Structure 1
Amino acid sequence: MRTLFGLIFITILIAGCTKEPETLPFFNTPDFTPQWISTETPEYAAIHSLPTFSFVDQDGDTITDKNIEGKIVVADFFFTICPGICPRLTKSMENVQSSFKDDDMITLLSHSVTPDLDSVPRLKEYANSHNVQKGKWHLLTGDRKQIYTIARQGYFADEEVGLKKSENEFLHTENFILLDGQKRIRGVYNGTNPTEIERLIEDIHILKKEMQHANS
């Protein structure tokens, strides 16, 4: 009898040790409805992901979708002369950078919504004044149409209303978007809200564990 109870205890212990890690939902639509999708379902292969892109950062380096493969990405949209929410967004991104400054798995992308004004030298000056870590946090400029298209159709940055807007309509959003290593949206956060940034940092840790478990 003791042997039986011992086996039961060991079985329970092993089951507890092999418990599946906590996972984040996927976001396939611009209304940001969370969906938990099993890898064993047909829907898994059709999960929304970021399209290809090519921009230039504050150091003059070309940053493409290839650079973020296998990385956890936090993305936002700003412009250097913004007097409103952008300083708070930048401060929030600084906090995220500080939390993962030595973690090569985490990449930050801030896209300029006024790329005609935000040249590489201007972005470099902005980076120097906001403690932007080279190779970690990329301030991106490039073709306006591509930036606005990827913002609204890739990141869903403007949510549902963004899909109805043209590139001539100004993009301004407080949303921070979290991507996994396959460029799929796993979270959306108010970048001006410190509590939301704390949640984002917690979710990054969850996503790291999820990705490490999937690769083990």
Structure 2
Amino acid sequence: MIKKLLLIGVFIAFNSCGNENKVTPDSSEIDRQISALPYFNSADFTPQWNTPIHKIPPFSFLDQNGDTISNATYKGHIYVANFFFTICPGICPKLTENMSSLQEFYQNDDDIMLLSHTVMPWVDTVEELKKYSIRKGVNAEKWHLVTGDKTELYTIARDGYFADEDFTKTTDVDDFIHTENFILVDKKRYIRGVYNGTIALDIKRLMRHIDILKNEDIQ
């Protein structure tokens, strides 16, 4: 009887602290409560709801097959964009690995596409991108690796995707661009999410946000 009373007392004491020890929901629970993603209109990536201003500007590059890739290629598609170069020994292998995982997961989903821009076009020619795509199992129907004029690539990186975190510090248009960001772009060319492409948890968050974005299109 005494043991039972002690157990009841412990139970009451534990539960009376519920407000002080309230567990905050993790990011997946928060995501489930979101019905729409914000828009990102500036390089500081301040989220803004119901304020679509900045669109990915027109572009035209060549992919691993030598085909011209432009805004028209991605019209009507949600896509994930990033920046890399084929001889990168640092973060690029992880970025490519995670893009590959997205390719595999969405292989049968025609709504979702991928776009990787080289930041070293003097090395990453169409031929080199082709070799790289074969090594990495890139499906050209789903995922385009693009090269082109350096100035155009760097301009869209900075002005289109806000991809160069150091640019505001260096202000050197010729400075090398290297970013770990994955950028989520909706069907109307608005930026709807920014993620660390090297972190598995952020890739999962990206995938949850793709689901939210797809539901947003249905509503």
> Normalized against structure 1, the TM-score is what?
0.83
1:171 Cα deviation (Å)?
0.2
1:69 Cα deviation (Å)?
1.6
Q: Which amino acid aligns with 1:25?
A: P
Q: How many pairs does the alignment contain?
A: 186
Instruction: Structure 2: give runs of 5+ residues left out of the alignment.
Output: 1-33
Question: 2:54 pairs with 48, 51, 64, which one?
Answer: 48
**Percent identity of paired positions between Structure 1 and Structure 2:** 54
Correspondence 1:147 to 2:160: no
1:97 Cα deviation (Å)?
0.9
Aligned equivalents of 1:111, 1:152: Cα separation in 2: 12
Residue number in structure 2 paired with 1:71:
77
Q: Is the CA contact (8 Å cut-off) linking 1:156 and 1:162 kept in structure 2?
A: no
Aligned equivalents of 1:126, 1:107: Cα separation in 2: 18
Correspondence 1:88 to 2:104: no
Residue number in structure 1 paired with 2:183:
177
Aligned equivalents of 1:33, 1:100: Cα separation in 2: 28
Residue number in structure 2 paired with 1:26:
39
Q: Which amino acid aligns with 1:202?
A: R
Q: Is the CA contact (8 Å cut-off) linking 1:144 and 1:167 kept in structure 2?
A: no
Q: Is the CA contact (8 Å cut-off) linking 1:56 and 1:63 kept in structure 2?
A: yes
1:111 Cα deviation (Å)?
0.2
1:110-144 alpha-carbon deviations (Å, 9 max, x no partner) = 00000111011110110011111121000000011
1:74 Cα deviation (Å)?
0.2
Q: Is the CA contact (8 Å cut-off) linking 1:190 and 1:196 kept in structure 2?
A: yes
Residue number in structure 1 paired with 2:31:
none
Correspondence 1:124 to 2:130: yes
More moved, 21-30 vs 133-142: 21-30
Aligned equivalents of 1:124, 1:29: Cα separation in 2: 33
Aligned equivalents of 2:171, 2:104: Cα separation in 1: 35
Q: Stretches of 4+ moved more than 6 A in 1? A: none
1:167 Cα deviation (Å)?
3.2
**Structure with bigger gyration radius:** 2
Aligned equivalents of 1:135, 1:152: Cα separation in 2: 26
Aligned equivalents of 2:171, 2:105: Cα separation in 1: 35
Aligned equivalents of 1:146, 1:58: Cα separation in 2: 17
Correspondence 1:162 to 2:167: yes
> Normalized against structure 2, the TM-score is what?
0.81
Aligned equivalents of 2:92, 2:202: Cα separation in 1: 16
1:166 Cα deviation (Å)?
3.1
Over aligned residues, Cα RMSD in angstroms? 1.5
Instruction: Structure 1: give runs of 5+ residues left out of the alignment.
Output: 1-20, 38-42
Aligned equivalents of 1:162, 1:137: Cα separation in 2: 27
